[in-house]
């Protein structure tokens, strides 16, 4: 391989192995890849962002606004030495880590000042987002190759986007309405020139991801993986290989198709549609193109993928735990207990140069009555009341008292308040008098009768309710079955 012609020579290897920056011919700093697809790191749920691996620039230490201390996230992206997230609740883009190119300083259009985001991605020294509400692509950070200047076809002037991804010094998007793949930035290896199969000429795309100098997409209608750009790799140790832009038959439509894709520095991976297994190709010097048994279909499959420089990560289908493989010199292939299944799992992942990010799955809050309202804020933890009705308290004109109607002890007629009528009804029912010939079992809300701790429904309870409705002691206690549970 000719270093001068390919650009993948010794200096680039140093950039990868030692995290050194190398001046490219255009005078722009090139570095190891950040491949944060807008697809892989998005979740329908929110959770705290967890990081691991190299943290020399703080890239694996998300801020309080998304780490669970003061906020959580619904989407994440990992660049070479930085990370970004969309904050849950606000949809603000929050970034951290190295900011040499301004890549960790999102603009007003998506940081909450004048707009928010629906999707994000992170490249080497730049980032992009899809602005919420408009669909416009907004980019920031290093723009030496035009990678942070999206074209009119997706920036809102002549079109918008539904998906976004950033690579080494280029970016790509799927245009809204057409499904065409549009790319911009460095095109030294053809990485900004998507092929006819996905650019709208012969086909379109449903998913995309950008590596350092190549890109891949899933073709709409067929599900086959199509790649373009750099396709020459350094193989250590030497041996046969498939280029990173040459997907294997398992996912190129010959023997199978794909549901998800990811592109790294010199390798690519996909989740095969037919089996759910992870399939990888390209450079494998650190084992980055050899996914483990837990996700390659042998003992498990995957639901999400993310690739970094020489490592990869996936969320295992069967357990939702994060599984990583490949180079582990900085711990980038060793996810922490919070997401590896030891003490928690994950709902979204992203991989940067030598670090990883995940959104941890938040443990479901206790909900004893299964009404969808966590016990901690449920006004009747043991009586299902999803609407949290609270008509009143003790007394005919009482205001809501924080105790839900479903568990207001003493409310025998189930009208939401404890009144003298409830007391009279309990007394008559205890004696089997009309309209309760069958006794207390005929009351509308027998489970709310006990106010004295007798574990039943007696005349004494009726007396206590009557006195309480008049404001007389000793009052009533929340000891009925509806309030205390079984």
Domains of the chain: 32-360 (2.130.10.30), 380-484 (no CATH)
Closest CA to 205 of 186, 229, 222: 222
pLDDT digits (tens, 9 = 90+) for 382-412: 999 988 999 999 999 889 999 999 999 999 9
pLDDT, position 9: 29
Q: With bands split at pLDDT 50, 70 and 90, how would you rate the model's confidence at 45? A: confident
pLDDT, position 375: 84
Does the pLDDT at position 364 exceed 90? Answer: no
DSSP assignment of 446-486, as one string?
GGG---SSSSS--HHHHHHHHHHHTT-TT---S-SHHHH--
Q: With bands split at pLDDT 50, 70 and 90, how would you rate the model's confidence at 455? A: confident
pLDDT, position 366: 79
- Reading phi first (left if > 0) and then psi (alpha if -120 to 50, else beta), residue 223 is in left
What does each C-alpha distance from 245 to 194, 219, 231 come to in angstroms?
A: 11, 15, 5
Residues with Cβ within 8 Å of 245's Cβ and at least 6 positions away in sequence, in order, are 214, 216, 227, 228, 229, 230, 231, 268
Does the pLDDT at position 265 exceed 70? Answer: yes
Q: With bands split at pLDDT 50, 70 and 90, how would you rate the model's confidence at 42? A: low
- Higher pLDDT: 370 or 215? It is 215
What is the overall mean pLDDT for the chain?
Answer: 88
pLDDT, position 235: 47
Q: What is the mean pLDDT of residues 418-434?
A: 92
Q: With bands split at pLDDT 50, 70 and 90, how would you rate the model's confidence at 7? A: very low
pLDDT, position 16: 27
Does the pLDDT at position 269 exceed 80? Answer: yes
pLDDT, position 483: 94
Q: What is the mean pLDDT of residues 81-102?
A: 96
pLDDT, position 43: 59
Q: What is the mean pLDDT of residues 462-482?
A: 93
Does the pLDDT at position 11 exceed 80? Answer: no
Q: What is the mean pLDDT of residues 335-346?
A: 95
Does the pLDDT at position 137 exceed 80? Answer: yes
CB 77, CB 110: distance < 8 Å:
no
Does the pLDDT at position 17 exceed 80? Answer: no
Q: What is the mean pLDDT of residues 435-454?
A: 87
Residues with Cβ within 8 Å of 455's Cβ and at least 6 positions away in sequence, in order, are none
Q: What is the mean pLDDT of residues 165-171?
A: 97
pLDDT, position 268: 97
Q: Which range is least confidently modeled, 127-131, 182-186, 302-306, 452-456?
A: 452-456
Closest CA to 123 of 313, 263, 289, 269: 263
* Separation of first and last alpha carbons in the chain: 74
Q: Which two tokens stand for residue 204?
A: 């379109």
Q: Which two tokens stand for residue 188?
A: 């030294």
Q: With bands split at pLDDT 50, 70 and 90, how would you rate the model's confidence at 374? A: confident
């Amino acid at each position: 391989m000719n270093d001068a012609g390919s650009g993948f020579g010794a200096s680039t290897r140093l950039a990868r192995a030692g995290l050194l920056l190398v001046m490219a011919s255009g005078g722009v700093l090139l570095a190891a890849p950040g491949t944060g697809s807008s697809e892989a790191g998005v979740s329908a749920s929110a959770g705290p962002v967890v990081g691991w691996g190299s943290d020399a620039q703080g890239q694996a230490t998300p801020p309080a606004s998304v780490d669970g201390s003061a906020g959580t996230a619904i989407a994440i992206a990992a660049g070479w030495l930085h990370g970004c997230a969309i904050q849950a609740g606000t949809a603000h883009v929050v970034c951290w880590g190295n900011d040499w190119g301004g890549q960790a300083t999102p603009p007003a259009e998506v940081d909450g000042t004048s707009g928010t985001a629906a999707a994000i991605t992170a490249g080497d020294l730049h980032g992009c987002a899809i602005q919420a509400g408009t669909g416009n692509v907004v980019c920031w950070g290093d723009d030496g190759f035009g990678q942070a200047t999206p074209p009119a076809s997706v920036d809102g002037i002549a079109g918008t986007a539904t998906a976004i991804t950033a690579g080494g010094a280029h970016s790509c998007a799927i245009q809204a309405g057409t499904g065409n793949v549009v790319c911009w930035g460095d095109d030294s290896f053809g990485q900004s020139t998507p092929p006819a199969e996905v650019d709208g000429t012969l086909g379109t795309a449903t998913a995309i991801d950008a590596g350092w100098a190549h890109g891949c997409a899933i073709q709409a209608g067929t599900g086959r993986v199509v790649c373009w750009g750099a396709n020459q790799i350094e193989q250590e140790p030497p041996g046969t290989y498939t280029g990173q832009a040459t997907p294997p038959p398992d996912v190129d439509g010959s023997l199978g198709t794909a549901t998800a894709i990811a592109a790294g520095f010199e390798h690519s991976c996909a989740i095969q549609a037919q089996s759910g297994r992870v399939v990888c190709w390209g450079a494998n010097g650190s084992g980055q193109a050899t996914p483990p048994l837990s996700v390659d279909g042998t003992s498990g499959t995957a639901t999400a993928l993310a690739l970094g420089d020489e490592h990869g990560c996936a969320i295992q289908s069967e357990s939702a735990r994060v599984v990583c493989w490949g180079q582990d010199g900085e711990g980038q292939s060793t996810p922490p207990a919070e997401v590896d299944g030891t003490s928690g799992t994950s709902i979204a992942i992203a991989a940067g140069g030598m670090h990883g990010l995940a959104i941890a799955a938040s443990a479901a809050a206790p909900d004893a009555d299964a009404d969808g309202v966590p016990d901690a804020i449920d006004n009747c933890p043991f009586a299902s009341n999803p609407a949290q009705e609270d008509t009143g308290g003790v007394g005919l004109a009482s205001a809501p008292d924080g105790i839900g109607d479903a568990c207001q002890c003493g409310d025998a007629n189930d009208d939401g308040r404890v009144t003298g009528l409830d007391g009279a009804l309990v007394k008559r029912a205890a004696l089997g008098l009309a309209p309760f010939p069958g006794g207390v079992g005929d009351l509308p809300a027998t489970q709310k009768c006990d106010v004295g701790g007798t574990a039943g429904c007696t005349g004494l309870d009726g007396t206590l309710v009557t006195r309480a409705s008049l404001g007389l002691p000793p009052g009533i206690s929340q000891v009925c079955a509806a309030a205390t549970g079984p």
